[in-house]
Amino acid sequence: MNLSDPKQLSTLLEGLLLASGKPLSFERIMELFEEAERPEADVFRKALAILGGSCKGRAFELKEVASGYRLQIRDTFSPWVGRLWEERPQRYSRAMLETLALIAYRQPITRGEIEEIRGVAVNSQIVKTLQEREWIRVVGYRDVPGRPAMFATTKGFLDHFNLKNLDELPPLAALRELEPEPILAQDDDDPAVPQSLQARADLAMGDDSELETAPQAASETSFGSLLAELDAMEQGLKIDFDDLARGDEEPNREEQGDVSTAEDGSREENP
């Protein structure tokens, strides 16, 4: 085999990517060749371009994600490919997807800030599950009283949702324009999540308390409307934490004032 020929090299790269159980970075691909036989980097790039072009019209495609290159089935065929697995798909709760969406679009963000936006407490199991999936990680600590952890997404998150980097996340405005009008959900404490986002989440199967099976006839809400709700809830979110210490002192002053008033009233009754 002439490894200096991009066309022949592309066939070899196809075999490597098919055999690999995870994405291969450009550097990792080059490391698979001994130094004496290793083609130039430009030859690898041309070979990858040829391989990508050869996938046109086929059921799979060459996709570059955060961790590298991989060959994958096109999303168009996911409804049929998913039938290969007989078990019913397990689904992530709306609360978990809201939390993940907030971290993805507002990172770095603390758990307290997520709770302020959503208006409800974030279950510890949600954060634990997302960390176990290696979709989020702690990237630092906010310089405020208590030093809460700040969360951000990982390469694993980008790989799972077919993204090369965070810039490929669709803008919120674009999502609202592309998504159809939301369908009113049935009376349900935890309505079904959008099909487009749920299909991606279904790929990660596991026994988690935050996973739930949605009813077959459950109504769906568009991802655009979900993000619109998140934006609406975010209005008034506190981003300047300089006065937190002063705010903590105010209740003490009020309590002291109440005590003084009570003492004054006692003196008047008992001269």
Specify whether the CB–CB gap between 94 and 175 falls below 8 A: no
Helix (H) or strand (E) holding 73, with range, is strand 68-73
Contact (Cβ atoms closer than 8 angstroms) between residue 3 and residue 9: yes
Same domain, 96 and 222: yes
Mean pLDDT by 10 residues, the chain (271 residues): 88 92 92 90 93 92 92 90 76 85 90 89 90 92 91 91 86 56 46 54 48 40 56 53 47 49 49 49
CA atoms within 13 A on the CB side of 98: 27
Peptide bond into 108 cis (omega under 30): yes
Q: Does one domain contain both 114 and 177?
A: yes
Q: CA torsion, points 73, 90, 191, 131, in degrees to nearest 10?
A: -90
Residue-range definition of the domain harbouring residue 104: 91-234
Helices (H), 161-243: 172-178, 195-201, 223-234
* Number of helical (H) and strand (E) elements in the chain, helices listed first: 12, 7
Are 55 and 113 in the same domain? Answer: no
Question: Contact, 241 vs 213, CB < 8 A?
Answer: no
pLDDT at position 228, please?
A: 61
104 and 69 assigned to the same domain: no
Coil, strand or helix at 138: strand
In tens, the pLDDT along 136-174 reads 999 999 988 989 999 999 999 998 888 988 888 877 665
Please report whether residue 146 resides in a domain.
yes
Same domain, 168 and 216: yes
Would you call 17 exposed, middle or buried from its count of C-beta atoms within 10 A (0-12, 13-18, 19+)?
Answer: buried
pLDDT of residue 178: 46
Question: What are 49-90's pLDDT values in tens digits?
Answer: 999 999 999 999 999 999 899 999 998 898 888 888 877 666
Is 180 found in the same domain as 117? yes
Judged by DSSP in three states, 92 sits in: strand
Structure tokens at 71: 């060959």
Residue 86 CA to residue 97 CA, distance in Å, equals 25
pLDDT of the residue at 179:
46
Say yes or no: 191 and 95 in one domain: yes
CATH number at residue 33: 1.10.10.10
Residue type, 166: L
